[in-house]
Amino acid sequence: MGNPEDIQDMLSFQRGDEQGFHRLFQRYKGPLVHYLFRFTGDRAVAEELMQETFLRLCRGARRYEPRTAFRTWLYQIATNVGRNEVRKREYSVRKEPLNDLSPQKLPGVGEGGGRPESGSPEGMAEARQTEEIVQMALGRMPDKQRAALLLSRHHGLSYQEIADTMGLRVGAVKSLIHRATESMRKHLSPYLQEFPPEEERHAM
C-alpha cells in the first residue's frame, strides 16, 4: 500500500487540511525535480514540471483512493507530465553526439591519468562531464525506457510499482529496464563502471 504517512497526508488534504498537502510537497518536491530533470535534461523545465505535477495532484485529489500507493500515483502524474513535455519540445541533449566525448577528453580518464580527487577542480570538472554523458545517454532512450530505468535505479520503485505507474505488465517493465540498461552500458562503458548487468533485485 505504500508509506502510511503519505496516505494519511493525502486523505487529510482531501478533507481540506492544507498542511497535508504541504507535508507531501516538502517530502516529494526534491525527488520529483530530480526525476523530471533526468527525464527532460533541463533543470528549469524540471522545476516547472514539478509544480505542474502538484497542480494536477490538487485538481485530481478527490479521485485518489487509499488502496493505491501515493508514491505510485504521484509518479504516474509526473511521468505523464514529463512525457507530454518531451513530445512538445526538442531538447539539445538529444542532438549532441556522444562520440564527441572520447575518454581522453574526460579529466583524469585515458592515457596517463588516474581519477582526480572528488573535491579538486579536476574532480569537479570530471563529475560535471560525467553528468553530461549520462544525461545524453538518457536523452537517446525512448520515453518508456527512460522512465522505467529512472523509477527503478534512481527512485527505488519495485517492478510492480513501476508497472502500476506506467500502466504496463511487470514483464514489460523488466524488458524496458533491461533494454535501457544495455543502452546505458553501450554508451557509457568507455567512461563509467556504474551500470553493471541488471540484477533481479526488485520485489515483484
Q: Where in the chain is the domain with CATH 1.10.1740.10?
A: 1-90
Question: In this structure, are residues 170 and 150 in contact, taking their beta carbons and an 8 Å threshold?
Answer: no
Please give the Cα distance from 179 to 166 (Å, whole number): 16
Please give the Cα distance from 91 to 173 (Å, whole number): 25
Please give the Cα distance from 74 to 63 (Å, whole number): 12
Residue type, 130: T
Closest by CA to 21, choosing from 45, 49, 56, 46, is 56
C-alpha cell at 137: 545517454
Please give the Cα distance from 174 to 169 (Å, whole number): 9
Which of the following CATH numbers is that of domain 122-193: 1.10.10.10, 1.10.940.10, 3.90.660.10, 3.40.50.720? 1.10.10.10
Please give the Cα distance from 38 to 80 (Å, whole number): 14
Residue type, 101: L
Q: What is the pLDDT along the chain (204 residues), one digit of tens a residue?
A: 568 999 999 999 999 999 999 999 999 999 999 999 988 888 999 999 999 999 999 999 999 998 889 999 999 999 999 999 988 875 444 444 444 444 333 333 333 344 445 556 565 666 676 677 778 888 888 999 999 999 998 898 999 999 999 999 999 999 999 999 998 888 777 765 555 555 544 544
Please give the Cα distance from 121 to 85 (Å, whole number): 35
Closest by CA to 56, choosing from 80, 40, 72, is 80
CA angle 72, 75, 78 (to 5 degrees): 155
Concatenating the DSSP letter of every residue in 156-198 gives ---HHHHHHHHT--HHHHHHHHHHHHHHHHHHHTTT----PPP
User: Would you state the CATH architecture of domain 1-90?
Assistant: Orthogonal Bundle (1.10)
pLDDT of 177 reads 95
pLDDT of 12 reads 96
Please give the Cα distance from 204 to 202 (Å, whole number): 6
Which helix (H) or strand (E) segment holds residue 38: the answer is: helix 18-40
